[in-house]
Structure 1
Amino acid sequence: MQQQQAGAPAGAPAIQRIAVVGTGVIGASWVAYFLARGLDVAATDPMPDAERKLREAVARHWPSLEALGLAPGASIDRLRFCERLEDALEGADFVQENGPEREDLKIDLFRRMDAALPAHVILASSSSGLLMSKVQEACRHPERVVLGHPFNPPHLIPLVEVIGGQLSSDVAVQSALAFYAAVGKKPIHVRKEVKGHIANRLQAALWREAFHLVEQGVATTEDIDTAIAYGPGLRWALMGPYLNLHLAGGEGGARHALDHLGPPIESWWADLGTPAITESLKETIRAGVEAQMEGKTSADLAAERDRLLVQLLAAKALARTIP
């Protein structure tokens, strides 16, 4: 990836210093990514031993980022860990927040961040489900609060969903979109606030039927994973459902595909399950996944996933027509 000038609101300096608030799995991944794009990062997290865990995570992610290509000036040494939130925020041009998914905690956290920073600095949350309209209520400058929701792991997956709350300004939303694009992400603008945003809603729809098929004894967890990983998942890694639908229609494109497949698709929709995540279903899924993981460790599986993701991203970067 090539380093680009990071976007900034009109009249504000270029974005060079990032404050990452919360350094768990998502926050640590963001830290590694921002460092790899040649930015300065100040990070903070109140959990015990947070700095050691963060630096270990960054070191673990760094080889994958090196394989993708570091920006000029990228260095792990540009990370500064701060015990106090206010110290991490000092001098920040952009904030990426990754705290717990609790509305009360986020409201208080954004109130504190808002009070500590100039009005032009965007406060972006990685929240996977909370609505910014509620989070921004306690801020003096709610217009600069947006959602910048990544997809795990953020240091490799390019998607970022950008959403404004009711009080967010269009300038802040557009500036966030520009910043993420400038550092190599693939941001999309979610036009309306909905639970789970876009990607998680699509994922939840697939999970619902995957859980239903296991619950009904149609398939094992391994069958489901194989069906996706060696079937439509391969196509989805290259292009989304609409372009795949277009190709399925041949010369007639998406309209031809819908004319012929529309009735069967509607019949499948009518037959989809509505499972409840009962204790019995949880146990069935646990047992199935443990059987799949026999002889493997989660760390090894994640490392293999990251290695293949790097290769896939490199291949997609060379594609001329695949978006």
Structure 2
Amino acid sequence: MSTGGVERVAVVGTGVIGASWAAHFLAHGLDVTATDPGPGAEERLRADVAAHWPVLERLGLAEGASTDRLAFTADAAEAVADADFVQENGPEREDVKHALFAVLDVAARPGVVLASSSSGLLPSVIARGCPRHPERVVIGHPFNPPHLIPLVEVVPGERTSPEAVERAMAFYAAVGKRPIRLRQELPGHVANRLQAALWQEAYSLVERGVATVSDIDTAISQGPGLRWAVLGPFLNQHLSGGPGGIAHVLEHLGPPTERWWRDLGRVTLTPELVQQLVAGVDEELAGTDEADLVARRDAVLDALLAAKADNGLT
């Protein structure tokens, strides 16, 4: 398998996202050097990778893929010194990112892409921690869990070079991802902004007493969410328009949709609303083993991805 010259990946930060990335890269036959300063980080990482491995085996491992190719060091500079690609997954704080990227900037070879999994920070802001080579900093934002969900949002900053963007796009595609390149940097990128729009109305509906937390989860998971898992919002809308497609939908449903937009709620996460949302989730999960729920979710994702591939919908 060609990965554009990438043989060793450094995974910086091994929490939920970092551990999932590490498992994904290992499954694609790469060497992974991981680093995290937290106590017990190596043990947790190896346990997380082992937990992810069965589903990755079912999806199909690359030749030579092995968990034995995972190395760990608490020293971030050591972890990236021999890396061909760096995937950073540290806390979502500018000061932490700047301190961390200052180390990566010095230790990693100049041509190596430094990709951040940041879910909302701007790459231009993160790159301020890289005075030597800001041109190789990009956002490479995955969706959780990265070892299953194909999407990666690649976002260049003001000083990111086209070559770094192309290397990131090519690498992610080579390891089975579906990268998209953003033409502008925005807080939250694309997918999280779309989610945020839905969350805004969902929270508002709960706050106004229109529906319960459980009702809203059902409305999405048993309704449009099923179609969204197959095709995106534009293609779904197009198919709902019959022979006239999206042009027909926009002509006939556009005006009422605009009225709905003006009626959407705007909310503030007051302590009272937060308590209401948390209580609603607790009620929905009553008697549910959350670890079992995660396993069942991932099994369905596994089956869904296989079904999409079988039907040419990857």
Q: Which residue of 2 aligns with 1:117?
A: 108
2:137 alignment partner, one of 137, 145, 163: 145
Question: Matched residues in 1 for 2:22 and 2:108: separation?
Answer: 20
Question: Matched residues in 2 for 1:212 and 1:243: separation?
Answer: 27
Instruction: Report the number of matched residues.
Output: 313
1:226 alignment partner, one of 198, 218, 225: 218
Aligned residue runs from structure 1 range 1-323, under 5 A = 4-7=1-4, 14-139=5-130, 140-320=132-312, 322-323=313-314
* Superposition deviation, residue 62 in structure 1: 0.6
Uncovered stretches (5+) of structure 1, i.e. residues with no partner: 8-13
Question: Matched residues in 1 for 2:62 and 2:243: separation?
Answer: 42
Which deviations, in whole Å up to 9, do the C-alpha atoms of 1:218-245 show, x marking residues without a partner?
Answer: 0000000000000000000000000001
* Superposition deviation, residue 156 in structure 1: 0.4
Which amino acid is 2:65 matched to? A
Question: Matched residues in 2 for 1:296 and 1:59: separation?
Answer: 24
Question: Matched residues in 2 for 1:256 and 1:289: separation?
Answer: 38
Secondary structure in 2 matching 1:304? helix
Question: Matched residues in 2 for 1:137 and 1:98: separation?
Answer: 17
Secondary structure in 2 matching 1:316? helix
| Segment drifting more, 173-182 vs 291-300 | 291-300
Question: Matched residues in 2 for 1:49 and 1:210: separation?
Answer: 38
* Superposition deviation, residue 297 in structure 1: 2.1
Secondary structure in 2 matching 1:275? coil
* Superposition deviation, residue 83 in structure 1: 1.8
TM, length-normalised to structure 2: 0.98
Question: Matched residues in 2 for 1:247 and 1:138: separation?
Answer: 46
Which amino acid is 1:80 matched to? A
Secondary structure in 2 matching 1:95? strand
Assess if the C-alpha contact under 8 Å between 2:78 and 2:107 holds in 1. Answer: no
* Superposition deviation, residue 282 in structure 1: 0.9
Which deviations, in whole Å up to 9, do the C-alpha atoms of 1:162-206 show, x marking residues without a partner?
Answer: 011100001101110110001100000011010100000000000
Question: Matched residues in 2 for 1:155 and 1:102: separation?
Answer: 24
Question: Matched residues in 2 for 1:276 and 1:289: separation?
Answer: 18
Question: Matched residues in 2 for 1:117 and 1:271: separation?
Answer: 51
Which deviations, in whole Å up to 9, do the C-alpha atoms of 1:26-64 show, x marking residues without a partner?
Answer: 000000000000000000000010000000000111111
Secondary structure in 1 matching 2:160? coil
Question: Matched residues in 2 for 1:227 and 1:172: separation?
Answer: 41
Assess if the C-alpha contact under 8 Å between 2:97 and 2:129 holds in 1. Answer: no
Question: Matched residues in 2 for 1:136 and 1:41: separation?
Answer: 24
Q: Percent identity?
A: 62
What's the Cα RMSD here?
0.8
| Segment drifting more, 48-57 vs 84-93 | 84-93
Which amino acid is 2:259 matched to? S
Report 1 or 2 for greater relative contact order, CA contacts < 8 Å, sequence distance ≥ 6: 1
| Segment drifting more, 111-120 vs 233-242 | 111-120
Assess if the C-alpha contact under 8 Å between 2:14 and 2:45 holds in 1. Answer: yes
Which amino acid is 2:89 matched to? N
Question: Matched residues in 1 for 2:257 and 2:147: separation?
Answer: 36
Which amino acid is 1:260 matched to? H
Which amino acid is 1:78 matched to? R
* Superposition deviation, residue 125 in structure 1: 0.2
TM, length-normalised to structure 1: 0.96
